[in-house]
Structure 1
Amino acid sequence: MANALYARMQATAARLIKSYGQAGTVTRIAPPDPVNGGDPVETAYPATLVPMAYDARNIDGTVIKTGDVQIYISAVGMEIAPTVGDLITAAGAGYRIIDADPNNYDGMTNVVFIVHGRDASQ
Structure 2
Amino acid sequence: MSNPLYTRLQATAKRLIEKYGQAGNIRRIAPPDPVTGGDGTPTDYPVKLVPMTYDQRYVDGSNVRASDRQLYISSVGLAIKPTVGDQAVTADGVTYHIIAADPNNYDGITDVVFIVQGRTNP
Q: 2: distance between equivalents of 1:93 and 1:55?
A: 20
Select between 33-42 and 64-73 the one with higher mean Cα deviation: 33-42
- Residue identity in the other structure for 1:102: P
> What's the offset of the Cα at 1:35?
2.8
- Residue identity in the other structure for 1:68: D
Give the TM-score taking structure 2 as reference length: 0.95
Select between 74-83 and 27-36 the one with higher mean Cα deviation: 27-36
Q: 1: distance between equivalents of 2:55 and 2:109?
A: 31
**1:95 corresponds to:** 96
Aligned length: 121
Give the TM-score taking structure 1 as reference length: 0.95
**2:119 corresponds to:** 118
**1:104 corresponds to:** 105
**2:24 corresponds to:** 24
> What's the offset of the Cα at 1:77?
1.1
Matches within 5 A, 1:21-60: 21-60=21-60
Select between 87-96 and 26-35 the one with higher mean Cα deviation: 26-35
Please, which runs of 5 or more residues in structure 1 have no aligned partner? none
Deviation by residue 1:8-34 (Cα, 9 ceiling, x = unmatched): 000000000111100000111111122
Percent identical: 60
- Residue identity in the other structure for 2:32: P
**2:5 corresponds to:** 5
**1:80 corresponds to:** 80
> What's the offset of the Cα at 1:55?
1.5
- Secondary structure at the aligned position of 1:113 is classed as strand
- Secondary structure at the aligned position of 1:19 is classed as helix
Please, which runs of 5 or more residues in structure 2 have no aligned partner? none
RMSD, aligned α-carbons: 1.0
